[in-house]
Amino acid sequence: MKRWHKRLLAPAALIATIVLLRLTLFRPHPIPVTVQTVSRGRVEETVVNSRAGTVSSRSRAEMSPAIQGLVVEIPVEKGQRIEKGMVLLRLDDREYQAQVTLAARSLDALRASASEARLASEQAERNRLRAEGLARQGLLSEQRLEEARTAAESAAAALNAATEIVKQAEASLAAAKAILAKTIMEAPFDGVVLDITAEVGEWISPSPPGVFIPPVIDVIDPDSLYVSAPLDEADVARVGLGLPARITMDAFRDRSFPGRITYISSYVETRQEQNRTLKVEAVFDERDLPDNVLPGLSADIEVILNAREDVLRIPTYALLEGDRVLALGSRRLEERKVEVGLRNWEFAEILSGLTEGERVVVSLDRPEVKRGARVRVAEEIAK
């Protein structure tokens, strides 16, 4: 009988040893996870452009002289702030100045001729009146009267011709002055010199029709910058004029700029049938932008459709399919079904299913992180 007991005790001891080893030495280690505390804050509902947008300027002038000439002065530099009317470039104007002088001298001569014609016309008119008086008294023949009248009409016609020639000369002088004025390029508005492609001593000519030549001076108004970007057609009905927006640029990764929607296209672009988009534009609320915010930079527009302050929220990437989360229990992970309100790519509003102060798992990229898993907090992200 004792031998039989001994035979039973041996397997039992072995089983107990195995169980003890599994509960101690071979027990699975807790899985390290990253968590974030359910807290209160702002949550927004937003719409983001489907493709990268572009920074543009409503006031931009790519300028070149309208006439050919030799560059003699460029009194501005790249990046310099300028005021409307400031001289940006001068061409050698000696030839054009000479043409103005020549036109002015010709005008003076023609005005003198016109003055002489006016005196002759006035004298011929007096002779006509005198001849008509003598003819009424019978002291002058009809032939002499006709000669006086013809002379008066001829002198009046000569005066009219001289007057028209003077006007033509005045127009020529004005044209010469207009051409002379083209030797000076002035700033069309307050702004910044974006680029200069000419040098003093260089001969430049206007571009022929159909041939593109880069502008000599590029000027922009940094206070009129805006961003244009395409939105997906599914968001058309949700976006309206005046909505606040958040503008971000690759050149300023750690900064965003507040703005507002000022333009929504009246048609949907269908160039790519699988990606129909609607063009929108947003202006910057800030006027004192960094100097290196320039037209041509890529930018994104995040339109803020709705926002709520001081609501329960968790990171959006903590949500599992079906609006579920993994909450940190006393020893193991608990799966919770939550009701979500507003959400965007960053935060989701929690209406029910969680309470403030609870912690949810945000490191969901491993299959072993699941309901019932034993875990330990390896990192806790700040609120």
pLDDT at 20: 52
Of the two residues 271 and 197, the one the predictor is more confident about is 197
User: In the predicted model, what is the mean pLDDT of residues 196-208?
Assistant: 89
What's the pLDDT tens digit per position in 292-320? 888 889 999 999 999 999 999 999 999 99
> Measuring CA to CA, how many Å separate 338 from each of 322, 324, 347, 370?
9, 6, 14, 16
* pLDDT for position 25: 44
Which ranges constitute the DSSP H helices of 291-365? Answer: none
Helix (H) or strand (E) segment spanning residue 107: helix 94-136
Greater confidence, 379 or 281? 281
Judge whether 281 and 263 are in contact, CB under 8 Å: yes
pLDDT of residue 115: 95
- The secondary structure element, H or E, covering residue 97 is helix 94-136
Quick one: tokens of 276?
């129909």
Q: Which of 15-19, 82-86, 238-242 has the lowest mean pLDDT?
A: 15-19
Question: What pLDDT band is residue 10 in, cutting at 50, 70 and 90?
Answer: low
What pLDDT, on a 0 to 100 scale, did the predictor assign at position 277? 84
Tens digit of pLDDT for each residue in 53-69? 999 988 889 999 989 99
Sign of the Cα pseudo-torsion (4, 7, 13, 19, in order): negative
What pLDDT score was predicted for residue 2?
A: 52
Q: Which residues pair with 381 in a beta bridge?
A: 36
Q: What percent of the chain has pLDDT over 90?
A: 58
Give me the mean pLDDT over the 170-177 stretch: 96
Interacting residues of 194 by C-beta distance below 8 A, sequence separation 6+: 60, 78, 218, 219, 220, 294, 295
What pLDDT is attached to residue 26? 47
Side chain identity at residue 258, one-letter code: P
| Residue 337, both tokens | 């079904």
Report whether pLDDT(22) > 60.
Answer: no
List beta partners, residue 373: none
**Nearest-angstrom CA–CA distance, 50 and 231:** 5
Q: Mean pLDDT for the chain?
A: 87
Residue appearing with tokens 């609501």: 311
pLDDT in tens, 211-252: 677 889 999 888 889 999 998 888 888 899 999 999 999 888
DSSP-derived letter for residue 309 is E
What does the DSSP 8-state code read for residue 224? G
For range 75-95, the mean pLDDT? 94
Residues 6+ apart with CB under 8 A from 324: 335, 336, 337, 338
| DSSP element (H, E) containing 15 | helix 2-23
Q: Which helix (H) or strand (E) holds 355?
A: none
Q: What is the pLDDT of residues 337-359, one digit of tens each?
A: 999 999 988 899 999 999 999 99
Q: What mean pLDDT is predicted for residues 106-126?
A: 95
Give SS3 for 250. coil
- 152-157: long-range pairs with CB below 8 Å, 24+: 152/121, 152/124, 152/125, 152/127, 152/128, 154/124, 155/117, 155/120, 155/121, 155/123, 155/124, 155/125, 156/121, 156/124, 156/125
Question: What does the block give as tokens for 328?
Answer: 């940190």
Is the pLDDT assigned to residue 126 strictly greater than 60?
Answer: yes
- pLDDT for 213 equals 77
Q: Round to whole Å and give the CA distance between 345 and 338.
A: 17
